[in-house]
A and B are shown apart, each in its own frame.
Chain A
Amino acid sequence: MPKKSDNTRKLEDVGIEIDGDPDSADEVKNTKSKGGGKKPTGKRGKADDSEDGEDEDEDDKPQKARRANRRKAAQQQPEEEDSDDEIPQRRAAGNRRRGKPGANGGENGENKRNKRGGKKQKEGKGKGGGKKKSSSEDSKSEGGDEEEESMSEGERARLMEEVEEKKKLIANIRNKPWRMKRRLKHLKEAQLFVDKFEGALGKGKGRKLYAYKVMMMKKWIKFQRDFDNFKTACIPWERKIKEVESHFGSSVASYFIFLRWMYGMNLVLFSLTFGLVVIPEVLMGLPYGSIARKTVPREEQDSAMDYSVLTDFNGYCKYSVLFYGYYNNQRTIGFLKFRLPLSYLMVGIGTFGYSLMVVIRTMAKNADVGGGDGEDSEFTFAWKMFTSWDYLIGNAETADNKYASITTSFKESIVDEQENQKDENIHLRRFLRVLANFLITCTLGGSGYLIYFVVKRSQEFQNMDDLGWYEKNELEIIMSLLGLVGPMLFETIAELEEYHPRIALKWQLGRIFALFLGNLYTFLLALFDEVNAKLEEEQEIKNASIWFTKEYYANYTLNNPNDTGTPPPMDPADVIRGPCWETTVGIEFVKLTVSDIQVTYLTILIGDFLRAMIVRFLNYCWCWDLEAGWPSYGEFDISGNVLGLVFNQGMIWMGAFYAPGLVGINVLRLLTSMYYQCWAVMACNVPHERVFKASKSNNFYMGLLLLILFLSLLPVVYTIMSLPPSFDCGPFSGKERMFDVIIETIELDLPSFLGTLFTYAANPGLIIPAILLMVLAIYYLNSVSQAYQNANLELKKKMQMARDEEKNRRNNKDSTNQVMKDLEDLLPNRSNLPPAEEAKDKHEEKKAKVKPGAAGNGVNLQKDVSLASANPNARGPVTQAPGPRAPGPGAGRGRGQGPPPRR
């Protein structure tokens, strides 16, 4: 007991401290005064400890009286409970009072003015006394103590509940459809309440912990809020995108949001690559010119700084940190013993790992947000009516287009509804669609062959010397041109199909995707041919180079027979070197990326800006209206831009392993492209004629990205796993395979038991069961989701059925009523109209009377209902439904035959 009371005492101090916490500044003035009044009390309580002990005996008597008092208070409690809002104040009052008696309670214990508060304080005092002279404590007071404890426990539980409730209210207050004023008021009350009573909660030992937890929770919430503020402050281009959105609708904005997302992802890749590979190499690796792989060969040195050579990424560019070949195969570099080759490989793999993770996570999140099942055509018109206006539109022209598109879409659905499509139309349309797809397949095949042809030709060109600019860049030019012309061609062909623009966009995306993919893979295959050729060539060069080195040393010893020491190393510029296929591949990708950037930017400049300029300014002196007529302004090409971005990313993923600098180039590209395209779209484009929403197409983009990621993963993993790295360049030179780095690290750097662990883990006997297990898990999860889907469908069907039934019932009633009405009309006496009608009317009247009254109050209209719970008003018709149906039998009689309406 004494121990307990000790704890309680301490706790009281804690509670007081919390209450008086200057941090919780929202407390109103009276609270502050309370806190102020309390603190000293606490102190005095301590100082008075000895006095309390002496007062002990005197306290005994008043205690009884007080106990009676308390019972009274307990009876009052329920009443208090009911008047919900009152409690905090009263409690506060109680609380405030609780302290005072501590000051004067010792002197005039009989003071009954302070009912509850006084009692409590006394109790505390009694305990204080108990602590001091626990031995001489008499049993009576102890009994009283116990009772007090149990009583306050129940109270505490209730208090706790209330506090939790209030806390919930604080967390959810923004979800309540209330006016701000009301919300603020409730918030303040709840906060006050929580602030006041949180500290007093918990019991025994737990109490201190609880107070601490509450404090930490407060801090944590504050931190979270600050962090959220910080996070939103970090999201760039919010205003820019918003501006575009308001001018062009959400579909165009979705492209820019996608671009921003890409930028974020690339920033991470960039920091990975530069932080772990490029910067360590620059800071700690051997400097330029120290070894052969870091030096421009002597025969190239004269032209190595030429502009034309540099733009081809040859010369100094080729032997720079941007490309694979520059990195040395030293196991560790610098004083930090940084394992560069290992880090290089890990970053290469980590790039893919991170990208995969992010893409899949975003996809999952998008799918989650998607929510409703859009394919249901249950509510065509209702959805059109209530969700077709895009509230984001803030531009008159776009709004005009939107009005027009909404009108046409309504008209279309009306026509669809009236006559379920004409037959001859369908045949023609089908024929046209087949034709369009045929044409597109032809185009795809043609473009594939063209690229294959060009790549073959370029391999022939490589053996020739006198090449013009065109021959050198033929491949890039052809690929860019195909990327430019193909989509336009598809768009023209797609007009045959007459799809809804949203569906057309998807088709268009799919087709361009196929085109780009075909091109990319033809290019890759050709590249692999080249790599294989280089690998063969390499063997010869390797021998030649070894031979040459030996020759050099032999010559040296021959020429300087006196010198017995080691000969000076060969000048790195003179060493014979292999073709280094990795750098070649890297250069190809960088060139492709750069030419892609150039083409994109030039297209925007010419196709959009120049066109807009001509249309705008030549319009004054032209025979026809340029703005309304033929060239007009360009529309923003969403599908082309998205795919351009996706493919660009694919190239980055593929090329980043061979050219670490590529990621940096890409980040720059995305950054400039954001500003450039934002400007271009605002300055030179007009909104789409048929503005449409970008519903869920975000996940479509992501799907494309995932596909591309997977496809670009394949070649890179293939090279890492099965092609031997070049013998004289790159971080893996001299190894049989690139991944040998990992094995080497395991063998040399990790303790041996880990090595054996890895060999076990890599055992096929372990891997195959693991794969099997995964396949089984996928199968299981798949079937479970299938089952859920079926259940969902079943439920939906059931709902539909219930609805139809309800409707039928209602319709039957309506029809019978109709018959009745007709009958009534024939009769001269209208007095025996079904009473239900009247009742209904009356009911309506009553309602109407009630409603305007409520509406007149304006603000008060909103009832104290949470959104999920049933709105009492909305319930009206349901409960009322049986009313009008009541005269059913009578009505049924009117119909003569048929079963009476079901109930």
Chain B
Amino acid sequence: MGNKQTIFTAQQLDAYQDCTYFTRKEILRLFHRYRDLAPQLVPLDYTNQPDVRLPYELIGSMPELKDNPFRQRIAEVFSEDGEGNMTLDDFLDMFSVLSEMAPRDLKAYYAFKIYDFNNDDFICKSDLEKTLNKLTRNELTEDEVRMVCEKVMDEADLDNDGRLSLEDFQHMIVRAPDFLSTFHIRI
């Protein structure tokens, strides 16, 4: 217990527990995962909140993320600087949202951000194409890609403005049977 206490103060742990879906043990485990990425950068003492951020290259190389086609987007969305460089807070944030306990709405919100490649708060055709190409590793022909994107738009775009707003996206994703089971990372 002794060395654990020095990483965070009790208040910090409590605050983290209030702000995430994790238990104390999980937070500590996540901290160690974070630290293992770059032991020389991350101090063992977080009581005075050092300003440390790990570059995207390290975050993206985590086994949980390294095979994910959207890893860069995930890191960008959750990092404070938008470049994928993460502080411990961002890191906790990310896995909290992706944890099993997070509610559907929160997950849907972040999923929307992840799939919104150009950050314009709408998923437009180009975003869809990017998503599809990442999912299939460019295996589909251009015609097929276009067709699929059109179909998606056709299905999900409720107000017919040619792009998916957050509401459209939520409307669609909330009904998906697999969304909750697939949009989570067990850490």
> Interface on A for B, CB 8 Å cutoff?
25-26, 170, 173-175, 177, 179-181, 183-184, 187-188, 225, 228-229, 232-233, 238, 242, 245-246, 250, 369-374, 376, 378-383, 385-396, 398-399, 403, 406-407, 410-411, 414, 417, 693-696, 803, 806-807, 810-811, 848, 851, 855, 858-859, 861, 867-868, 870-871, 873-874, 876-878, 880-881
Contact = CB atoms under 8 A, between A and B. Distances in A.
A874 B148 contact: no
Interface of B: 10-11, 14-15, 17-21, 23-26, 63-70, 80-82, 89-90, 92-93, 96, 98, 103-106, 108-111, 115, 119-121, 128, 131-132, 135-137, 139-140, 144, 147-148, 151-152, 155-156, 158-161, 163, 165-167, 169, 172-187
Contact of A379 (B64, B66, B175): B175
Nearest to B81: A858
A848 B163 CA distance: 14
Nearest to B184: A391
A867 B172 CA distance: 15
Contact of A389 (B135, B174, B176): B135
Nearest to B137: A403
Contacts of A385: 128, 131-132, 135, 148, 152
B19 A873 contact: no
Contact of A394 (B21, B63, B173): B63
Contacts of A880: 161
Nearest to A375: B177
B159 A877 contact: yes
Given A694-B181, A810-B160, A877 B11 contact: no
Given A374-B177, A877-B163, 20 more contacts: A188-B15, A242-B187, A381-B155, A383-B179, A385-B152, A387-B173, A387-B179, A388-B182, A389-B68, A389-B70, A394-B67, A403-B135, A407-B136, A694-B181, A867-B105, A867-B106, A871-B167, A877-B159, A877-B161, A881-B159
Contacts of B115: 386
Contacts of A379: 155-156, 172, 175-176
A414 B147 contact: yes
Contacts of A382: 152, 155-156, 172
A404 to B, nearest CB: 8
A851 B116 CA distance: 13
Contact of A246 (B63, B132, B156): B63
Contact of A174 (B18, B26, B131, B151): B18
Contacts of A868: 105
Closest 7 CB pairs of A and B: A374-B177, A180-B89, A399-B67, A810-B160, A877-B161, A874-B165, A381-B151
A388 B135 contact: yes
B159 A174 contact: no
B11 A26 contact: yes
A147 to B, nearest CB: 40
Contacts of A238: 186
Contacts of A229: 23-25
Contact of A806 (B80, B106, B159): B159
A378 B155 contact: yes
Contacts of A407: 135-137, 139-140
B101 to A, nearest CB: 9
A147 B33 CA distance: 60
A527 to B, nearest CB: 42
Given A246-B63, A411-B144, A806-B159, A877 B136 contact: no
A870 B176 contact: no
Contact of A242 (B121, B174, B186): B186
A174 B22 CA distance: 10
Contacts of B65: 394
A568 to B, nearest CB: 65
Contact of A370 (B90, B98, B160, B177): B177
6 contacts: A173-B18, A179-B90, A188-B15, A373-B175, A383-B172, A383-B177
Contact of B15 (A187, A370, A810, A859): A187
Contact of A410 (B25, B121, B140, B159): B140
Contacts of A232: 23, 25-26
A567 to B, nearest CB: 69
A31 to B, nearest CB: 13
A414 B19 contact: no
Contacts of B18: 170, 173-174, 187
B108 to A, nearest CB: 8
Contacts of B160: 806-807, 810-811
B9 to A, nearest CB: 9
B96 A233 contact: no
A392, A851, A880 interface centre (most CB from chain B within 10 Å): A392
A175 B103 contact: yes
Contacts of A859: 80
Given A382-B152, A874-B167, A395 B67 contact: yes
A177 B106 contact: yes
Contacts of A803: 158
B150 to A, nearest CB: 9
B141 to A, nearest CB: 10
A180 B92 contact: yes
B19 A174 contact: yes
Nearest to B63: A394
B66 A394 contact: yes
Contacts of A369: 180
B97 to A, nearest CB: 8
Contacts of A391: 68, 98, 182-185
B41 to A, nearest CB: 19
A167 to B, nearest CB: 12
A760 to B, nearest CB: 50
Nearest to A381: B151
Contacts of A393: 67-68
A410 B148 contact: yes
A180 B69 contact: no
B93 A180 contact: yes
A848 B179 CA distance: 30
Contacts of A389: 68-70, 135, 182
B175 A179 contact: no
Contact of A858 (B70, B82, B173): B82
B19 A184 contact: yes
Nearest to B113: A177
Contacts of A386: 111, 115, 131, 169, 172-173, 176, 179
A573 B113 CA distance: 79
B51 to A, nearest CB: 11
Given A381-B152, A693-B178, A867-B105, A406 B135 contact: yes
A372 B175 contact: yes
Contacts of B136: 403, 406-407, 410
B71 to A, nearest CB: 10
Contacts of A242: 186-187
Contacts of B120: 848, 851, 855
B120 to A, nearest CB: 5
Given A181-B80, A379-B172, A175 B105 contact: yes
Contact of A250 (B135, B167, B181): B181
A806 B175 contact: no
Contacts of A406: 135-136
A858 B80 contact: yes
B93 to A, nearest CB: 5
A410 B178 contact: no
A245 B111 CA distance: 21
A509 B101 CA distance: 30
B176 A383 contact: yes
Contacts of B139: 403, 407
Given A174-B18, A187-B15, A371-B104, A693 B67 contact: no
B10 A877 contact: no
A161 B26 CA distance: 34
B125 to A, nearest CB: 12
A47 B104 CA distance: 58
Contacts of A806: 158-160
Given A177-B110, A385-B152, A386-B115, A695 B140 contact: no
